[in-house]
Amino acid sequence: MRTISNTIKGVFAVSLFSVCLIGCSEDKMDDINKDTNHTNSVDAKFILTDVITSTAFSNVSGDFNTYGSAYVEYEAGVDNQLYNAEIRLNEPTAASTFNNTWTGLYTTLKNARIAISQCEEGLRDEGNDITKGIALVLAAYNGALLADMFGDTPFSEAALIDENGAPVYMNPKIDKQEDIYKTVMQELDDAIISLQGSDRSPISTYDLIYKGNAANWTKLAYGLKARYTMRLMNRSGDINGDMAKILEYVSKSFTSAAEQAEFAIYDNNNINPYYGFNNDRAGLVSSQSMGEKLIERQDPRLQRGLLTPSSVSRVRTNITGSNDPNYVPAPNGSPEQNMQKYSVSTFYYASTAPSILMSYHELKFLQAEALCRLNRTSEAEAVLKEAVVAGIANAERSIESAIETLGEGINVTAEAITEDVAKTYFESKVKPLFIANSLKETMVQKYLALWGASGEATETFSDIRRLKALGENFITLKNPGKYPLRCPYGNSDTTTNPEVKAAYGDGNYVYTEPVWWAGGSR
């Protein structure tokens, strides 16, 4: 009986406690459930360190750059996924191909948006105007990457979290590429204004690109406005007016390569991702069409940028031409799956080459192109020379990194490409072609300059699609297969978000539907 009585008392006590809990306010329950032992937010400057790293390492220099290198024929794919991409089997349309980058981009955008939000009035980082400006530039950069690679894609409802860190929308809607670009350009304008302010708590060394230098971030913002204005040329209602805008933006951007936006913290432990991929997978080799362009111009990068096949002994340089027995390029679209048969790029071994968000040479090529389109060719020639020399200097820096990486494993018989050599190359080889067709040679030289280990194939992939949309097939590509016009959505959303799943279909739209700025409807 006592046992039963005690049990009844216990049940009553529990019931009474439960009633008390029910009577508690929701706010009180939220307080009870809070984890007070671990911080659930950090300063925006700490968040931006991760945003900068993921933007440079994963989003610019990751899969977009690796596959892009094969698509634009800087290299040719000869193993596994890269071979499939080369022969246009499965990979260009598969939702799994870019899924890691897809999820990484949205995570990066989410973190950039968190940093922006925290700098608003009354919040944790109020008064950190420069930090907010940097976050806005990075949000714009990653937003443009999403739009450029995927076209219409989730954006306004994506990468948003509530106060508890949960997604605001589980199945964010797809936004039009045109609308995404409007946001991107507005964010750059807002960034320029914010960067004119000051920081209550400076970002300093947590900024892995400019160490909190607001002037340089402002120059990057103007450089990106030039890039994206040129990107939207096919949709322009006033091309001459937009070319004039590009020249204005360029005048407010980088004045030398020392100011370009590069992620330059690689060393023996933290390696360049392009080197890391090729060192682990060895899936890319020398492209025949790329070699032909270099040979046609007797480009100085020919002798320094290509290495013998590993079956020959790897890695003597000084390729002299197409008849050199040490030069064995892979035929675009039809190589063997053989990682030892073909020559490779010296850039593969550039373990410490920086990842570049936007280079000085790209900026000068944009200026030269705008001048050509305005028929100001005499001005364009001088600018193009600067661009070519700067591009070759960047290539030589990567080549020197490769030589250091390989050590005694490379026998360099070609001399370093000095500034004088680059200028002589321009005067003797480039200038005559420029005189014959100024716009074409400007674009070919830009194509050659963005070849390397710095992640710029990502930009070239967009450039070639832009030119195709304009009917300007200046860059001759030899792969007979269908050219990818975009990247497929990631399977983390094609399997969960009904709107993305419907838009993806079987993935073959990648070959048939250009993105909006290239003349398509999505």
Structure tokens at 345: 């790029």
* Helix intervals (H) in 195-238: 214-231
Instruction: Let me know if 171 is exposed, middle or buried by CB neighbors in 10 A (0-12, 13-18, 19+).
Output: middle
- pLDDT tens, 458-487? 999 999 999 999 999 999 999 999 999 999
For the segment 289-309, the average pLDDT, to the nearest whole number, is: 91
Q: What percent of the chain has pLDDT over 70?
A: 89
Residue bearing the bigger pLDDT, 314 or 212:
212
Average pLDDT score over the chain: 90
Neighbours of 202 (CB within 10 A): 16
Q: What is the pLDDT of residue 279?
A: 87
Q: What is the pLDDT of residue 40?
A: 53
Residue 498 banded pLDDT, cuts 50, 70, 90: very high
Q: How far apart are CA 50 and CA 54, in angstroms?
A: 6
- Whether the pLDDT of residue 209 is over 90: the answer is yes
- Report phi then psi at 128, rounded to 5: -100, 75
* Helix intervals (H) in 260-418: 273-281, 288-297, 301-305, 360-373, 377-406
Q: What is the pLDDT of residue 163?
A: 85
Q: What is the pLDDT of residue 310?
A: 72
Q: How far apart are CA 440 and CA 445, in angstroms?
A: 9
Neighbours of 166 (CB within 10 A): 8
* Helix intervals (H) in 407-437: 419-425, 431-436
- Whether the pLDDT of residue 101 is over 60: the answer is yes
Q: What is the pLDDT of residue 312?
A: 52
First to last CA, the chain: 77
- Whether the pLDDT of residue 10 is over 80: the answer is no
- Whether the pLDDT of residue 54 is over 80: the answer is yes
Residue 313 banded pLDDT, cuts 50, 70, 90: low
- Whether the pLDDT of residue 21 is over 80: the answer is no
- pLDDT tens, 128-171? 999 999 999 999 999 999 999 999 999 999 999 998 889 999 99
Q: DSSP assignment, residue 357?
A: E
- Whether the pLDDT of residue 22 is over 60: the answer is no
Q: Are strands 174-175 and 284-286 parallel, antiparallel or unpaired?
A: unpaired
For the segment 368-392, the average pLDDT, to the nearest whole number, is: 98
Neighbours of 183 (CB within 10 A): 17
Q: What is the pLDDT of residue 12?
A: 33
- Whether the pLDDT of residue 357 is over 70: the answer is yes
Structure tokens at 241: 């007016």
- Whether the pLDDT of residue 293 is over 50: the answer is yes
Q: What is the pLDDT of residue 33?
A: 43
Q: What is the pLDDT of residue 324?
A: 80
- pLDDT tens, 413-466? 678 899 999 999 999 999 999 999 999 999 999 999 999 999 999 999 999 999
Question: Measured at the alpha carbon of residue 36, what is the angle toward residues 33 and 37, in degrees to the nearest 5?
Answer: 125
Q: What is the pLDDT of residue 1?
A: 33
